[in-house]
Structure 1
């Protein structure tokens, strides 16, 4: 079984793109705070690359912004390629099948969601 569930904050605004075949997708990175403190007493953060396709990508691009707390449910995918220097590059990413919008910041002045303050992207618990 290859299934993963992540909850984290988006590190930047999503950029909806379209493949040559016309399939929409969004590449995003989730900042996910670890549960335990390191030797310095701080929480480390993992930045996990995710790709979301089709309608989920369109909805994510429309409703989410940098700092939005989201859940991504999907699978781990690995791939590799040879770069222009002839070196093999390995990539591990999450392919999101389902995206849940957990917390968007609401702007009373415009009536729309907006990004949270960058200082709120990672909070200690």
Structure 2
């Protein structure tokens, strides 16, 4: 069986970190994802609920903010409940395995977000796949020379 979901969208609100009674970090966010449409028709937007747990939740609450473009992969979880009118309702959400920035740092409006990677179950990882503007245009003026590699993490 396979249950994999990968979405990219903009956060509809700032993430709010909470903790369970067992002291596990959890954050629930909603991503606004544009749905492909036929040529000439009005664009549609889906609002998809995402839940992140543990270190991933802490990462999301620390570095992400409303309006930011985010990429999430995880699995779809379903649930059900009975509303006040006695009607049985179903819920769908994605439980995040990995959360990543999906736009260049220069496009982010919050200067407090200094980390340019993402978080996955194995830890923090550098995931800046978009080519730098200066590189794609051939202009290397934006690059700094690193005099030594003593402070590099690898």
TM-score (norm 1): 0.78
Runs of 4+ in 1 over 4 A off after TM superposition: none
Corresponding residue for 1:81?
81
Report the secondary structure of 1:58's partner residue: helix
Corresponding residue for 2:61?
61
Q: How does 1:21-36 map to 2 (within 5 A)?
A: 21-36=22-37
Equivalenced residues, count: 109
Structure with the larger strand share: 1
Q: Is structure 2 residue 6 aligned with structure 1 residue 5? A: yes
Partners of 1:57 and 1:38 in 2: CA distance: 38
Contiguous gaps of at least 5 residues in structure 2:
114-154
Contiguous gaps of at least 5 residues in structure 1:
114-125
Structure index of larger Rg? 2
Q: Greater RCO between the two (CA within 8 Å, min separation 6)?
A: 1
TM-score (norm 2): 0.64
